[in-house]
Chain A
Amino acid sequence: MKYTAALMRAPLSRRATLKGMTAMAGTAAAASTLGFVGAARGDEPIKVGMISPLTGAWTVYGAAHSAGFELAVDEINEAGGILGRQVEIVVGDSRTEPRVVVEQANRLIRQERVDFLAGTFSSAERNAAGPVVEASGKVLLYPTFYEGQLQEYFPGVCNPNIYMFGPEPTQQVWPHMEYILENFGKKFFMIGSDYAWPQVTNLFTRQKLEELGGEVVGEVYIPFNTPQYESVLRDIRESGADVIFHTLTGSDTVNFRQQYAAAGMKNDFTLWTVDDEEVVTTGLGPDVSANDYVSFDYFMSIEHPNNAAFLERLRAKFGDDVLMNTVGVAMYNAAHMAALALNQAGEVSTEALRGYLGDLEFNDAPQGPVWMRALDNQLVLPSYLMKVREGWTGVSDMFEEIQNFQGVEPQNAQCDSLPLGQ
């Protein structure tokens, strides 16, 4: 079986399938009896650096971001740790500033001597961490839905040491284009925040849209912290659009959508957002968000046995009011997959992590099975399209599932050499 192949460490078939937590614990036990790699340091914890936006503009996302990782590390430690060693999280606060990410990544690697890093939130933060992990030879596990990999943004992407656990546009947007076009019309108005992720996402969206016979009738980018949207709302009205394709971020999302609703436009357009998960939708409230569409790899409301079990453990640890989202779940998956990879490798090193993370499957992922592509360090994951329920009261009844696709492959990364690092 694939499982044996993994233990034999055949260089070309490292594909490793593990079923569940028990199997993981079993591997840990097996590895420690067989190998005793680093047995002298058996009691010393494995240190992992977690860089989260705990203060600053994106603090609102920091709670789910760190909660997902902390829950996973608890589970790993309860199941026996990695190779018999406990895992210890060393926290670095990014303060939502790329400059601080560089400081924190350096501190975690050089002073705290962590074995690998997980986190950063925005693409700008990840790009700031890129050169640091490049120079130090450490791995970064990156959780956020993002714009995909283009060589020009190396070393923030196309970097053999950075692994992506969130969806890119061809996974998050493309699978649902046909449904939206068939049901709501072919004219899109694109509104996004003025930085890389919305612009590249719109580029991919436009490509697929035009392939399917649709057209973009307007495209605007809004500077951060814009309080007024009158002129944009007027442009949208005049454009004759059917669908508003929405990639605004943070508080601008809330500002725009409140004013969009107050302008009485909700009945005239279909709004499809690829940025507003549980945290933002909670902030919008039921009146403003009702009947809008959202697509992501994960929602708290998806009906999957993995998710039910995950939410039970999450609420046991953080209380009933905890908010989870795609990014927090990606952090959760990242921790578990790193533990699986190191347990299989039998040692803790960058080479071990990279060697066994590629092609690794994780069947317990809350959104449904996911696996890592060795080709471009990109996760294959499900994609869900949800509609916001009218009069929702909380995260459990916030979204109604419209459709889902399992095992959605991303487009190949546009890097100079694939597979990455070879």
Chain B
Amino acid sequence: MYALGVAIDATLITLVLALAAFGLAIIFGLIGVINMGHGAMLTAGAYITWVCQTNGVPFLLAVLVAAVAVAVIGLVLEHVLIRHFYDRPFETLLLTWAFFLITTEVIKIIFGPEFRSVTNPLPDAITIGGIHVPAYRAAVALFALALIVTSAVVLYRTSLGIKIRGLIQNRQMAALLGLNIGLTYKLVFMAGCFMAGLAGGLITPMLSIDPYIGNVYLVRSFFVVAVGGVGQLLGGTMIGSFLIGGSETIFAVVSEQAVAQTIVFALAILVLRLRPRGVLTPR
């Protein structure tokens, strides 16, 4: 029973982290933009959700509004800045970092630094085999699983997916074969921003909404993508999230929380040393 509890916890943590990291996995993994603005996009999604809910919009609609709004912000960012720098990763790192700093300050100016909270739409716990599981967290975990699997299907089973994968494998060849590279990049970037906004909205009932809410997940998300393997959208995100998030609760069974977190990051570094391109990418 104790083991079942640990297993459920590890699953929940893995899937919620996978959700938070997914937008980065798309942008960093598919088009190679080191998006340091990922945390700010989560934060923006959280605040937009909060504003909508405070003004009477139902929670799920509020989350959807947040995701669309962040996607639009992403579209503007991509069109004005990012698209000119696709072949210069270091510059995009600086640009997206600047985006993070500016967004965080703008949020502080508009909304102030106070902690905010939204009403949890599913405030109760459900019982599975004698284990109490927070209903909302479980729902988010299931949703994350469905979302990531669906995205993988799009990537591996549709013509759009073939185009995107072709683009990743060989950009010049894809262009020569008549693929509209600019548009595909734009779509992928927007999709990543949409996912970040969505995740930002969905984590609000579990976390404190403050201008730094996205930071909690920024470093973890990068680890997830790096450990899982850049471009490994389904398996990589899942394995990375398990190693960075879910495994922590298992280590916490035998050690203190602070030690468990250290072990996890040490393990991540070890994995990267042995498999520099991620667990799922062949060396």
Q: Is B9 an interface residue (CB 8 A)?
A: yes
| Interchain CB contact under 8 A, B253 and A258 | no
| Interchain CB contact under 8 A, B249 and A228 | yes
| Interchain CB contact under 8 A, A234 and B108 | no
| Interchain CB contact under 8 A, A254 and B125 | no
| Interchain CB contact under 8 A, A283 and B114 | yes
Q: Is B213 an interface residue (CB 8 A)?
A: yes
Q: Interface code B231-252, partner A: CB below 8 Å = 1, 0 otherwise? A: 0000000000000010011001
Which residue from A55, A225, A323 sits with its C-beta under 8 Å from B215?
A225
Chain B residues whose C-beta falls within 8 Å of the C-beta of A222 in the assembled complex:
257-258
Which residue from B120, B134, B249, B258 sits with its C-beta under 8 Å from A231?
B249
Chain A residues whose C-beta falls within 8 Å of the C-beta of B90 in the assembled complex:
none
Q: Is A63 an interface residue (CB 8 A)?
A: yes
Q: Interface code B8-30, partner A: CB below 8 Å = 1, 0 otherwise? A: 01001100110000000000000
Q: Is A36 an interface residue (CB 8 A)?
A: no
Chain A residues whose C-beta falls within 8 Å of the C-beta of B209 in the assembled complex:
283
Chain B residues whose C-beta falls within 8 Å of the C-beta of A279 in the assembled complex:
114-115
Which residue from A60, A221, A255, A261 sits with its C-beta under 8 Å from B258?
A221
Bound-state Cα–Cα, A261 to B206, Å:
10
Which residue from A227, A234, A284 sits with its C-beta under 8 Å from B115?
A284
Chain A residues whose C-beta falls within 8 Å of the C-beta of B136 in the assembled complex:
262
B101 → A minimal CB distance (Å): 11
Minimum CB distance partner of B115 in chain A: A283
Chain B residues whose C-beta falls within 8 Å of the C-beta of A280 in the assembled complex:
115
Q: Is A263 an interface residue (CB 8 A)?
A: yes
Instruction: Classify chain B's interface size.
Output: 35 or more
| Interchain CB contact under 8 A, B256 and A221 | yes
| Interchain CB contact under 8 A, B258 and A59 | no
| Interchain CB contact under 8 A, B208 and A258 | yes
Chain B residues whose C-beta falls within 8 Å of the C-beta of A55 in the assembled complex:
108
| Interchain CB contact under 8 A, A220 and B257 | yes
Within 8 A of B (CB), among A204-243: 220-223, 225-228, 230-232, 234, 237-238
Chain A residues whose C-beta falls within 8 Å of the C-beta of B253 in the assembled complex:
231
A251, A261, A265, A280, most chain B CB atoms within 10 A: A251
Chain B residues whose C-beta falls within 8 Å of the C-beta of A285 in the assembled complex:
117, 119
Q: Is A194 an interface residue (CB 8 A)?
A: yes
Query: What's the count of A-B pairs with C-beta under 8 Å?
Result: 130
Q: Is A306 an interface residue (CB 8 A)?
A: no
Q: Interface code B101-126, partner A: CB below 8 Å = 1, 0 otherwise? A: 00000001000111111011001110
A115 → B minimal CB distance (Å): 30
Within 8 A of B (CB), among A259-312: 259, 261-265, 279-280, 282-285, 287-288
Bound-state Cα–Cα, A63 to B248, Å:
36
Chain B residues whose C-beta falls within 8 Å of the C-beta of A220 in the assembled complex:
256-257
Q: Interface code B243-275, partner A: CB below 8 Å = 1, 0 otherwise? A: 001001100110011101100000000000000
Bound-state Cα–Cα, A417 to B193, Å:
60
A127 → B minimal CB distance (Å): 20
Q: Is B145 an interface residue (CB 8 A)?
A: no
Q: Is A37 an interface residue (CB 8 A)?
A: no
Minimum CB distance partner of A221 in chain B: B258
Q: Is B276 an interface residue (CB 8 A)?
A: no
Chain A residues whose C-beta falls within 8 Å of the C-beta of B97 in the assembled complex:
none
Q: Is B228 an interface residue (CB 8 A)?
A: no
Bound-state Cα–Cα, A191 to B66, Å:
34
Bound-state Cα–Cα, A57 to B5, Å:
33
Bound-state Cα–Cα, A230 to B205, Å:
15
A373 → B minimal CB distance (Å): 34
Q: Is B216 an interface residue (CB 8 A)?
A: yes
Within 8 A of B (CB), among A178-203: 194
Chain B residues whose C-beta falls within 8 Å of the C-beta of A261 in the assembled complex:
120, 123
Chain A residues whose C-beta falls within 8 Å of the C-beta of B108 in the assembled complex:
55, 59
A-B contact pairs, 28 of them (CB 8 A): A55-B108, A62-B113, A63-B114, A223-B261, A226-B257, A227-B203, A227-B207, A227-B220, A228-B12, A230-B13, A230-B249, A231-B9, A231-B252, A231-B257, A238-B2, A255-B206, A255-B216, A258-B120, A258-B208, A259-B134, A261-B123, A262-B135, A264-B134, A283-B117, A283-B210, A284-B117, A287-B119, A287-B123
Task: Using CB atoms and an 8 Å cutoff, list the residues of chain B in contact with chain A.
Answer: 2, 5-6, 9, 12-13, 16-17, 108, 112-117, 119-120, 123-125, 132, 134-137, 203, 205-213, 215-217, 220, 245, 248-249, 252-253, 256-258, 260-261
